[in-house]
Structure 1
């Protein structure tokens, strides 16, 4: 993950893959991205994390570059995959580009929302436009915020990490700012470790508007990596964008 407000330090990086045990989803996501990238194409993952998607794509022969704002997450990626061909860059993807052009740019698992202002989200999308090849595709995955937008009191939950560790989660929502404050407390026999993360959620059509202001246009949207149609009941979306050569905002976006 990226950015100081959602920083994954060494403690969280060490349990991150256990926080999100979604191996079946990973395989489907890899297939989806691979199917929209030319053979031997270049892929940029924003918020590359521990390489859940990037490493399998590199193993398929794609040239993969990942940027992340957490050095601990990048260290974990290379610790788990010492022979990986994924190249990594420490940086804030809302403000910093790579200097390269890619056939596919990805922003997955709600990572877009770690940009906690409209300006940061717009900056992210303008940098996507700048780094996307003319015929390239930008793949964004995010949850649909409607169920959370109506949350009136903090929500409490617990995640089982392993036989000796659990994570206690608290979620509070500020509807006026479209902000979510998540508190994670790890209990593993040592001193409890608590971290806070802030997300700014955005509704799908709001993301589309920000994309249009960045010189991008929506190509397709579905509920999941398998192509299930997106409906009013969908809890998340996978959206694919391309550069819009007719956009009046293209020059502003770079």
Structure 2
């Protein structure tokens, strides 16, 4: 069984499966509604396979999309209408700061891949510097208070999908450890055609709401609007599954 750190971003078979396994658009719809219809300069950080970036560009926004995975960006750049997006392999530091952006987004819980206190502070500071005065940074992180990792077990997380390219694929999570704010897990992919078993190892940071608020304010953001789910309900620390932050520079 090949066993690769962050194989999700480096194995073409797993990149092919990404959209199928993340097919809901409630988060993209939520952010797109708040960006609005007036054409804006938007940076999509951690763009993945490019679904949201292309959606925004198709709606008339000027979009730059960046991701550290060359394979993800290559996949994204072959989407219909992808030519309307400027694609960059890298991170926030790889993006030209001029012209400044009206909006910066990080969807798909990409913010949780920023693991250390220093990296969180540096990411927030860099994003703030990229924004026009009054611009917005929009992102989400899972709420650690509700302990979502407790359901990341083979028994509770197992599901199966049908891929056009690869046939039936069974998927499940296996939590390895919880250390401080970091959760380490494996995601297993069993391709029934060919009996191939791939494992993606990853680590995610679960920052408490209060710490997140402090870090956002320290980076220079003036206002933060908090939501607890994609239906727009306010954040409730004890029960909300998400910590969704709309931060004004």
TM-score w.r.t. structure 1 length? 0.83
Partners of 1:171 and 1:136 in 2: CA distance = 37
1:212 to 214, 217, 240: 217
Pair 239,121 (structure 1): closer, same or farther in 2 beyond 3 Å: same
Provide the residue aligned with 2:204 in structure 1: 199
Q: Which residue of 2 aligns with 1:34?
A: 36
> Matches of 1:150 and 1:192 in 2, distance apart?
22
Measure how far apart 1:132 and its partner are: 0.8
Structure 1 gaps, min length 5? 244-254
1-structure distance, mates of 2:149, 2:199: 26
Equivalences for residues 140-151 of structure 1 within 5 A: 140-148=139-147, 151=150
Deviation per residue, 1:106-150 (Å, 9 max, x gap): 112211110111111111101111101112111112211123288
SS in 1 for 2:97: coil
SS at match of 1:211: helix
* Corresponding pairs, count: 234
Distance in 1 (alpha carbons) for counterparts of 2:214 and 2:116: 15
Contact 1:46–1:107 (CA<8 Å) still a contact in 2?
yes
Paired residues of 2:77 and 2:87 also in contact (CA < 8 A): no
* Alignment partners' CA distance in 2, 1:61 and 1:150: 38
Alignment of 1:20-59 (within 5 A): 20-34=22-36, 39-59=38-58
Gaps of 5+ in 2: none
1 CA distance for matches of 2:149 and 2:48?
A: 30
* Pair 1:187 & 2:193 matched: no
Structure 1 41/154 Cα, relative in aligned 2: closer, same or farther at 3 Å?
closer
Contact 2:9 2:72 in 1 (8 A): yes
**Given that residues 138 and 245 in structure 2 are in contact (C-alpha distance below 8 angstroms), is that contact kept between their aligned partners in structure 1?**
yes
Task: Judge conservation of contact 2:54–2:81 (CA < 8 Å) in 1.
Answer: no
In the alignment, is the contact (CA less than 8 A) between 2:227 and 2:243 conserved in 1?
yes
Deviates more, 1:23-32 or 1:8-17: 23-32
Cα contact 1:5–1:197 (8 A) shared by 2 = yes
Q: CA deviation at 1:24?
A: 4.2
State the match for 2:14 in structure 1. 12
Measured in 2, the distance between the counterparts of 1:25 and 1:174 equals 26
Shift of 1:165: 1.0
Asked whether the equivalents of residues 208 and 218 of structure 1 are also in contact (C-alpha less than 8 Å), the reply is: no
Which whole-Å CA distance do the structure 2 matches of 1:239 and 1:222 have between them?
A: 7
